[in-house]
Amino acid sequence: MELTSLITNVVLLAIFGAIAYVVLKGLGIVGTKKPAIAEITERGTRRVKATREHVLICGPSGAGKTALINYLATNEWRETVSSLEGTKATFNVSAKVSQGETNNEPVSKTLKLKYVDVPGHTHFVEEMLDAAEAASAIILLVDARDQVSISHSVEYLYELLNTCRTVFEEKLPILIVGNKQDLSNAKKATTLEIDLEKEMDELKRVRVATMDEDQEYQGYIESLKGSFEFKNLSDFVQIGEASIKEGNVDEITQFIVKRHLK
Ligand SMILES: Nc1nc2c(ncn2[C@@H]2O[C@H](COP(=O)(O)OP(=O)(O)OP(=O)(O)O)[C@@H](O)[C@H]2O)c(=O)[nH]1
Ligand SMILES: [Mg+2]
């Protein structure tokens, strides 16, 4: 008799426990999994935990993004037209890199990686920021002989450093490339650097003046006290040169391979 009532009590307790768990789970009190990506939609307040599985190629329209992705994939130069949508592709990229401190002889390394090229039009900015937050490295292309392209590239850099909290806090490597060095009036990396710094200060002035007072998150550029200087970001932002047309992409391939070597 006693054994029967004990079993009955255990069964009743189990049923009660199960009902309580279902009710508490429904209320979100128990059993809720911590999301990998915080569910706050405001980009600046969100830090994205991503798998970092692609190299992002971004920058203003006409800078040479599609030309670069084609060249890296095929080793051949092809004329391109402005893209209407992004491109995703996986292919091998090789570069000669030095190994460690004891052996200075550069050796050739080949890595298979995924690449994403996001078109340089304003309606792709959100797509570009999503791709940037999940990237393992970022290549920001600029048409180095075009002042408009240089000004627009600063807007991209502003978004990457100021709006993408993940990019700045995780110091995702960024290579800014002054492309079209085969053209006589293309700016070299040193001149480009000075130009970009000046343009960034001007853009910061405008953006801070029009900033929303209730804005929760202040990005790197907005919270800068003095002038914008690349030397303060030298641990993850570099400036290089290329001529995709002439196959001069060594700085780009070295950047990619070095970044992904284990
Ligand atoms: N002279 C020269 N022209 C280049 C070079 N790289 C690209 N171009 C040309 O620049 C133009 C724009 O190149 P794209 O690769 O289509 O530019 P994009 O950045 O993909 O532009 P969107 O798709 O509009 O965002 C094309 O006419 C290319 O042939 C280069 O190194 N030298
Ligand atoms: Mg394109």
Residue 70 CA, distance from chain mean position: 20
Nearest ligand to the CA of 146 is 1
User: CA–CA separation, 198 vs 208, rounded Å?
Assistant: 16
Q: Where are the alpha helices (DSSP H) in the chain?
A: 2-26, 65-74, 125-133, 147-158, 165-169, 189-209, 250-260
248 lines ligand 1 (CB under 6 A): no
Residues near ligand 2 ion, CB 5 Å cutoff: 65-66, 83
Which of 56, 66, 187 to mutate to test ligand 1, by most ligand atoms within 8 A of the CB atom?
A: 66
Full-model pTM: 0.83
Tell me, yes or no, whether 94 and 212 share the same domain.
yes
79 lines ligand 1 (CB under 6 A): yes
What is the 84 CA–ligand 2 centroid distance (Å)?
8
Tell me, yes or no, whether 80 and 1 share the same domain.
no
37 lines ligand 1 (CB under 6 A): no
Give the number of other CB atoms < 10 A from CB of residue 91: 14
Tell me, yes or no, whether 163 and 247 share the same domain.
yes
Tell me, yes or no, whether 13 and 120 share the same domain.
no
Tell me, yes or no, whether 21 and 114 share the same domain.
no
Helix (H, G, I), strand (E, B) or coil at 197: helix
pLDDT tens across the length of the chain (262 residues): 576 777 788 778 777 777 776 666 555 455 443 333 333 345 666 666 667 889 999 999 999 999 999 999 999 999 999 999 999 999 999 999 987 666 678 899 999 999 999 999 988 999 999 999 999 999 999 999 999 999 999 999 999 999 998 899 999 999 999 999 999 999 999 999 999 999 999 999 999 888 887 777 789 999 999 999 999 999 999 999 999 999 999 999 999 999 998 7
14's tokens: 């189990």
Tell me, yes or no, whether 73 and 199 share the same domain.
yes
**Are 113 and 55 contacting, i.e. CB atoms less than 8 angstroms apart?**
yes
Tell me, yes or no, whether 18 and 84 share the same domain.
no
What is the 121 CA–ligand 2 centroid distance (Å)?
10
Angle between helices 189-209 and 147-158 (to 10 degrees): 60
67 lines ligand 1 (CB under 6 A): yes
Handedness of CA 197, 203, 209, 211 (dihedral sign): negative
- What's the domain count of the chain? 2
Which of these, 87, 89, 159, lies nearest to 122 by C-alpha position? 159
Nearest ligand to the CA of 119 is 1
Tell me, yes or no, whether 16 and 63 share the same domain.
no
Which residue's alpha carbon is nearest to atom 7 within ligand 1? 64
Give the number of other CB atoms < 10 A from CB of residue 5: 9
94's tokens: 């090789």
Tell me, yes or no, whether 134 and 245 share the same domain.
yes
CATH number at residue 244: 3.40.50.300
Tell me, yes or no, whether 8 and 82 share the same domain.
no
Tell me, yes or no, whether 229 and 202 share the same domain.
yes
Contacts with 215 (C-beta within 8 Å, 6 or more apart), sequence order: 44
64 lines ligand 1 (CB under 6 A): yes
**Residue numbers of the domain that contains 26:** 1-32
Task: Starting at the earlier edge strand, list the strands of the sheet with 103-117.
Answer: 87-99, 103-117, 54-58, 135-143, 174-179, 237-241
Tell me, yes or no, whether 11 and 91 share the same domain.
no
Contacts with 21 (C-beta within 8 Å, 6 or more apart), sequence order: 30, 31
